[in-house]
Structure 1
């Protein structure tokens, strides 16, 4: 039985201050300072994961390690967070501190490609095929196991020939959203729609759009 928890419950758990819940799980970023420290941290995470029989996704780079947790047992139904994720997150953070790695959750984000479509069932298979993705849920291709950004399809009621049909969704921690928006505006962007604090639609100088959205604390996966 999976003990599903919300984003808020995850953030309230002890020892998870380094982590942020975004789309497809809870994630953190550790600055390791060296590849050797990164490898040592990955090895330690592997030991903790095997002991808990609960395994995260890990990205090892020259000077950093990014880790994402979600409950894989029910991934065929979407994705969820469980109490096991919070427990393992706290253990991973402790291991990182012992190795001298520093958490920087400001570098945690999720990028999603959003496509407006009149006939989603007709359009989705093309994008799954061309990207080498799997269909996920009823509106996506990719999902948590995709090697690149998830692709989400938004239902159109009528054609919109004078507006972009593809935009980016950027999910960032709530405390990072204002900084990103200010930086984008300073770089020549404009606010197209202000639906804060839920999301903001920004456009570059030629009108290409991106939605910036903090992840809701009440979310428990899909």
Structure 2
């Protein structure tokens, strides 16, 4: 994750996806993510070591979640006024994919996802401090409606402005960010498992679903036409 003050070469999610050499990656709610199957803990550890030796890894350090069967890599640039992707992140993604090919690690773009908890609030400033303290989270860059884990482990929290009370609907729901080419399949699976479509009015940015008792969730895609999940 890059921590710089002068951000140049900013990239929108769709621009990132349209850039050659980034086919292993998908932009989700928290940056560009890729999953690589390695087959063993030793192979995963060796992959991480190779990533650490890449040119620019010190200036653009990725977040890496290592497991014995593979690893997830995330790239995002964070400053005081920017939370997103840059050309530097794109170059690092290319280099990591090249290392994966050399080591025989296989990319599986369809399995990456990030999860966000959205809280509907009438007065955000009255509830956000509670959650910030309870979770040990921090404000997201230039976005007072968002709280993020400074260690980048837990799901971010987004506080959505409500105009009126909604006693007949839940006020906390889950946003699931999936690759743009996996959204329809994920929605179909959720409906087949007993859910229902509440609205697709914001598609292809996000779809609102509900379980059998009406508890809601959004399936979202980053960077495409329309508002983002949790941001109607």
Q: Same fold (TM over 0.5)?
A: yes
Partners of 2:206 and 2:84 lie apart in 1 by: 22
- Superposed displacement of residue 173, structure 1: 1.1
Give deviations 1:19-41, integer Å, cap 9, x for gaps.
Answer: 01111211100011011110010
1:100 aligns with 2:107: no
- Map of 1:54-203 to 2, 5 A cutoff? 54-72=60-78, 74=79, 76-136=80-140, 137-142=143-148, 145-195=151-201, 196-203=203-210
Please, what TM-score do these two structures have when normalized by structure 1?
A: 0.92
- Structure 1: unaligned runs, 5 residues or longer: none
Between 1 and 2, higher relative CO (CA 8 Å, sep ≥ 6) is seen in 1
Change (3 A) 1:143 1:180: same
> RMSD of aligned C-alpha atoms?
1.8
Residues 52, 88 of structure 1: 8 Å contact kept: no
Change (3 A) 1:159 1:189: same
Q: Which runs of 4+ in 1 moved over 2 A?
A: 49-53, 143-147
Q: Secondary structure at the match of 1:77?
A: coil
Change (3 A) 1:143 1:49: farther
Q: How many residues align?
A: 217
Change (3 A) 1:88 1:123: same
1:208 aligns with 2:215: yes
Normalized per residue, which structure has more helix?
1
Change (3 A) 1:218 1:193: closer
